[in-house]
Amino acid sequence: MTDDELLDQLRTRDPAASLPPAPPAQVDRLLEDAMSHDVETRPATGPEGDPRRRTPLTWLVAAAAVLVIAGVGAFALVGGDLFGGDEEPTATSPGTSQTTGQTTGQTTGATEPTVLELSAQPPTTAKCAVVSAQLLGLQETAFDGTVTSMTDGVVTLEVGQWYRGGDTDLVTVQAPPAEMTALIQAVQFEHGQRYLVAANDGFVTACAMSGPWSEELAALYAEAFGA
């Protein structure tokens, strides 16, 4: 068989051969959606995907991840303003400053573990401030937990230690696919790994406040929540 024959054979099996072009309206919407986002020129310093390869493209992914992290963050924390300010945390949702009644834990029986349900917010273009104990201290919910299951759309964590805002055995994070994908990229949830997770108003906080367990992050949590 020649290369040309091989090429012909492969082309007859192109899965996209029968894909009709995108309707112009859809194209317009896609472009407009992309352009509605802020252009940020911060250097890419976020978590990178595959440590084996660090081609320029890998850094592109890293940059994308940084942008997603920036997007998921619920805080439009523009550096400086918050520190020393006497105002409320500038979280995006109304009513976020109310700490009472946000623990939506449900007890499903004497033998069943208790569960706190959290969600993820749609990506926004908010910028992230540098993580500090002071910022963390504004979080209503914080815990140290290990991912015990990841099914489509739901991440379940077994809580090892509560820092604030709950006393349940498990925490589930449930969100629509787009939000979930963004959150998982931001926090890097992986089955069996240990995480420090913070949340406000029932939404997991990205912006590097929630992430894989590390001594540095744990020290920040301890400082923030006086554990």
**Stretch of 52-60, 79-87, 201-209, 215-223 lying at the interface with another protein (CB under 8 A):** 52-60
Tokens of 96: 């976020």
37 part of the interface to another protein, by CB under 8 A: yes
Does residue number 12 form part of the binding site for another protein (CB under 8 A)? yes
Site map 94..133 versus another protein, x via CB under 8 A: ----------------------------------------
Strand-strand pairing, 170-174 and 115-118: parallel
- Cβ–Cβ under 8 Å, residues 179 and 186: no
Q: Is 76 exposed, middle or buried (0-12, 13-18, 19+ CB in 10 A)?
A: middle
DSSP codes, 48-103: -S-TT---HHHHHHHHHHHHHHHHH--B---TTTSTT--SPP-BSSTTTT--TT--
Interaction between residue 92 and another protein (CB under 8 A): no
Site string for another protein, 141-180 (x = CB under 8 A): ---------xxxx-x---------------------xx-x
Q: Which residue, 82 or 187, has its beta carbon nearer to another protein?
A: 187
Tell me the two tokens of residue 155: 């991440």
9 touching another protein, by CB under 8 A = yes
The DSSP bridge pattern shows strands 194-200 and 203-204 to be antiparallel
* Interactions with another protein, residue window 55-84 (CB under 8 A): 55-58, 60-61, 63-65, 67
- For the CB of residue 148, give the shortest distance to another protein in the complex, in Å: 14
Strand bridging mode 154-164 / 141-151: antiparallel
CB of 40 vs another protein, minimal distance in Å: 7
- Distance from C-alpha of 42 to C-alpha of 21, rounded to nearest angstrom: 35
Query: Which parts of this chain interact with another protein (CB under 8 A)?
Result: 1, 3, 6-7, 9-19, 21-22, 27, 30-31, 33-35, 37, 39-40, 49-50, 53, 55-58, 60-61, 63-65, 67, 150-153, 155, 177-178, 180-181, 184-185, 188-190
